[in-house]
Amino acid sequence: MRPFEGIKILDLTHVLAGPFATYQLALLGADVIKIEPPGEPDQTRNIGADKALNALGMGTFYLAQASNKRSITLDLKTKPGREILKKLVVRSDVLVENYRPGALAALGLGADAMMALNPRLIYASMSAFGQDGPRASQTGYDMNIQASSGIMAMTGTETVNPLMLGPSAVDYASGTTGALALVSALFQRERTGRGQRIDLAMIDVAIILMGSHLASYLRNGALPKPRGNRHEMATNGGYATKDGYLVMGASNLRQHRRVWTLLGRLEFIKPTMQERRDNREPEAKALAEILLTRTAAEWEDLFQANHVPAARVRTLAEAVGDPQLTTRNIVHRYDKTPSVPGAFGVPVAAFKFAHGGPQVDAPPPTMGEHTEAVLAELGYGKAEIDGFRSTGVI
């Protein structure tokens, strides 16, 4: 039995952070119902590298976080649509939304109203800047939060900055944080019997991602600078090799000593972190010359065999092809599904359980694929459902 079997989640989120949060619980057994306005699909359905899938409303950005979910369409701007949502709320454990703050409350679907219907409900709102404060009404995606938080200002090099991070890291970190908040609230409810109101802001998540830099700044006003692949100590950072790029992570004093012992340059071994910082430039110059004498793979093998963190820079294709990934079961591959022509793969969770862990059970649904089934569960008959469809409620 997985941790959240029997838990019902209403997913009124779109794009990346919200859907990723609910996806984590869906992998762990929750019944997640994704709700989209008819005619207004989640934009990720039309985003990805495969244009044909985008045209089908099954873009790869959507596929990556939609397995195990059920999909219904519902126009919450209509009275019948709101009544249907309320019926779902009464029998659900969690509602997650990432509309503009105040938008659902204006429709009578805010946290207070929904928790009055179901006092055990966990109502989670995910937004760019939170539900209160002077910027609460502002909206933003990952790139905007990177810009607002200070992440972008510290990313890049001295001459090329600011830069965005490659992946939408704040989105996925917000989704992971959202999942943690949801499971924490569910655990708390087991003890108290009470529902919970969750207010998650992407800007807060971005600040937390810079925790060590934040502490330094709050202590002495030190602002992090963009320094590319350079670290304050030479044996941490990136270097060119005979055929590619190597990133070293010889951070502690033991690893630092191992590097210079392996390379036969004992004069660079320093007994303290500060002396390593002070001696950075001579060490870096020596490393840059020495590492050009072998390939990145040869250096990676040598350093790793001697317990020195080091890795050659791989493409995504090389990383996915690494046999290590096969042992981790991080990818679920579909040979074929009714809604997606051809094979494809999706990420699973970034951890394993000894038993009852995360797994993919069902393929990503087409938009509204389960509308009739879910409405039937609520007691609506075929004539009523047909009427909802003809009037644009679903």
Question: In 3D, which of 194, 184, 329, 308 has the Cα closest to residue 246?
Answer: 308
pLDDT in tens, 316-335: 999 999 999 989 999 999 99
pLDDT in tens, 83-107: 999 999 999 999 999 999 999 999 9
> How confident is the model at residue 376, as a pLDDT?
98
Q: Which residues are marked as active site?
A: 171
The pLDDT of 259-282, averaged and rounded, is 97
The pLDDT of 192-209, averaged and rounded, is 98
Predicted confidence band at 243 (pLDDT cuts at 50, 70, 90)?
Answer: very high
pLDDT in tens, 342-360: 999 999 999 999 999 999 9
Predicted confidence band at 57 (pLDDT cuts at 50, 70, 90)?
Answer: very high
Q: Which two tokens stand for residue 176?
A: 């992971």
Q: In which order are the strands placed within the sheet that holds 245-249?
A: 236-240, 245-249, 310-312
Greatest CA separation for the chain:
85
pLDDT, mean over the chain: 97
The pLDDT of 137-141, averaged and rounded, is 95
pLDDT in tens, 360-380: 999 999 999 999 999 999 999
Question: If you write DSSP's letter for every residue of 270-339 in order, what string do you get?
Answer: -SSHHHHHHTHHHHHHHHHHHGGGS-HHHHHHHHHHTT--EEE---HHHHHHSHHHHHHT-EEEES--SS
pLDDT in tens, 5-47: 999 999 999 999 999 999 999 999 999 999 999 999 999 999 9
Residue with tokens 């941490």: 236
The pLDDT of 155-179, averaged and rounded, is 96
- Strand partners for 94: 9, 122
Predicted confidence band at 289 (pLDDT cuts at 50, 70, 90)?
Answer: very high
Give the whole-angstrom CA distance, residue 111 versus residue 101: 11
Three-state secondary-structure class, residue 86: helix
The pLDDT of 159-183, averaged and rounded, is 97
Q: What is the pTM of this model?
A: 0.95
The pLDDT of 50-60, averaged and rounded, is 97
Domains and CATH numbers, the chain: 8-209+329-390 (3.40.50.10540), 236-318 (3.30.1540.10)
